[in-house]
Amino acid sequence: MTKPLRLGIAGLGTVGVGVVRIVQRKADLLAARSGRPVTISAVCARNRGTDRGVRLGDYDWQDDPVALAQRDDVDVFVELMGGADGPAKAATEAAIAAGKDVVTANKAMLALHGQALASAAETAGAALRFEAAVAGGIPVVKALTEGLAGNEISRVMGVMNGTCNYILTRMQGAGLPYDEVFKEAAALGYLEADPTLDVGGIDAGHKLALLASIAFGTQVDFANVELEGIQRVEIADIEQAADMGYRIKLLGVAQMTGRGLEQRMSPCLVPADSPLGQLEGGTNMIVLEGDSVGQIVLRGAGAGEGPTASAVMSDVIDLARGTRLSTFGQPASSLARPTPAKSAVPAPYYIRMELQDKPGALAKVATVLGDAGVSIDRMRQYQHDQANAPVLIVTHKTTRKALDTAIAGMGETGVVAGQPVAIRIEEV
């Protein structure tokens, strides 16, 4: 009989339980597709007594994930604990040092330590796989490392956080303010324990950094991902964007430019009739652009027990079949250190501000924009019954650097109330 592939699973939260369910319920299918049985030797979690709704009595229990990673009867260490450092990193390093393959869903750990872990795995002759770390059930890592391996990738773009997409589409559909929808998302359990990871763009930024590494053959560089969350997006922005034929998304974009690697995760206006513009609820979408294939759009569930466990099992089955790839699609030693480029590609911008309602205020703002080299495409002042007048400006294509210079200058005019909101209009 063919020797089974034996798993040690660390972390029995939503995803870990989902993996156990798949192994238990689909044993015959897994064996047929991988050519050998897939079994579980031992598991590990914080609380042994929790009722998780799955049968765990057949497996050994380890209180220490490092000990689990080092067991002789574990071929693949499945790390589903989360956290950039601490037990997850220690156990992953221990598994690699023991020559064991690792499958993880831990985007934060890889975004911060991916290069070191990939190098260690390469030296030890172990595989480090992470399909489940990016976009849940969407097989985007496999698409880049395998399906599009013959392409030079020009751009990776997408909605990579379902919670933010839920909040923005709910604001638009129900006409509700951000604070109210945020509370609703929290009550539904959509937010991380630290909600800033979601609404601040950090979670999605981790994912973008991993995809950029694969797409452009560079070392993971999360530190230079430009991050801007959705906290300042107001219902007025959503309504005014809709009037112009756009929708607002927390959009990740990575592209290699003449100045270096541009990576940004920020709110953007996208055409309402585009695939990204039509994306609703908690769904994720990744757009990949290659020189031979053109544009590929991948859409699906970005989180949840089933989709993420499905992604974990795709890596497990590859290992059971004997398919072994470098962590980021090519040897870690060949990954270049990227030169970061901050929003180097020009684009039009949407600017919302409040001006003091007095003669010459608008002219002062227009002068500041012109002095910074930013030209106005259109401008609209809305009716108001307050001291300050809401004003919307859409610029022609400009750089973020020029726009930031202009916004800084607006603060010195004495006619702008508060900080203007600037949102990039992305070509998709």
DSSP string of 331-355, one letter each residue? -GGGPBPPPB-SS-S-B-EEEEEEE
Residue 62, φ and ψ in degrees, nearest 5: -115, 130
The distance of Cα 148 from the centroid of its chain, to the nearest Å, equals 20
Instruction: Identify the active-site residue in 100, 207, 249, 364.
Output: 207
- Round to whole Å and give the CA distance between 205 and 200: 9
Residue 173, φ and ψ in degrees, nearest 5: -70, -35
Residue 254, φ and ψ in degrees, nearest 5: -130, 130
Q: Is 183 a catalytic residue?
A: no
Tokens of 324: 């072994």
| CA nearest neighbour of 241 among 276, 270, 266 | 270
Task: Work out the angle at residue 109's Cα, subtended by the Cα atoms of residues 224 and 344, and round it to the nearest 5 degrees.
Answer: 15
DSSP E strand stretches across 291-333: 294-301
Residue 357, φ and ψ in degrees, nearest 5: -85, 80
- Residues 10 and 44 sit within 8 Å (Cβ to Cβ): yes
Question: 3-state SS string over 129-183?
Answer: ECHHHCCCCCCHHHHHHHHCCCCCEEEEEEECCHHHHHHHHHHHHHCCCHHHHHH
Q: How large is the C-alpha radius of gyration of the chain?
A: 24
- Residues 250 and 157 sit within 8 Å (Cβ to Cβ): no
- Round to whole Å and give the CA distance between 354 and 381: 9
Question: Would you name the residues annotated as active-site residues?
Answer: 207
